[in-house]
Amino acid sequence: MVQSSAADVDAYLADAPEARRDVLVRLRQLCRAELKGFDEVMAYGMPVYERGGVAEIAFASQKQYISFYLMRGDVRDAFEERLAGQDMGKGCLRFRRPERVDFELVRDLLRATAAAPGAVC
């Protein structure tokens, strides 16, 4: 499901592969719980969380993994040690197996993002 044409996040989750759906639903629940004041939208074919019209967080079911997009460089820098052992691109945390999603880390990244606005990359 590299890029979805779903109209909203509910449809996106309904279309997600069954083996990943529960994890994606849990990611959504975390985002909605921790990102107060953010808008949940579909953009770039995935669920995106915006503050003031600026995308700061997103997640997606990719072909080979689940992606968690952290678009704030300051938050990535603050979590450098905890992210060091993760499969991480410039702004994308990749979980190749759904059961390996570190929800505690994701929650902490969301809380740090929500705590204060910052520049996105």
Contact in structure between 111 and 34 (CB atoms under 8 Å): yes
8-44 pLDDT, tens digit each: 999 999 999 999 999 999 999 999 999 999 999 999 9
Average pLDDT, the chain: 93
Q: Which two three-digit tokens encode residue 3?
A: 């890029």
Please tell me the predicted confidence (pLDDT) of residue 2.
57
HEC string for the chain:
CCCCCCCCHHHHHHHCCHHHHHHHHHHHHHHHHHCCCCEEEEECCEEEEEECCEEEEEEEECCCCEEEEECEHHHHHHCHHHHCCCEECCCEEEECCHHHCCHHHHHHHHHHHHHCCCCEC
Contact in structure between 16 and 61 (CB atoms under 8 Å): yes
More confident residue, 23 or 121: 23
Please tell me the predicted confidence (pLDDT) of residue 1.
44
What CA–CA distance (Å, rounded) separates 64 from 1? 10
What CA–CA distance (Å, rounded) separates 107 from 27? 9
Q: Which two three-digit tokens encode residue 87?
A: 């499969």
The pTM for the full model equals 0.93
Residue ranges and CATH numbers for the domains of the chain are 9-112 (3.90.1150.200)
61-100 pLDDT, tens digit each: 999 999 999 999 999 999 999 999 899 888 899 999 999 9
What CA–CA distance (Å, rounded) separates 20 from 13? 9
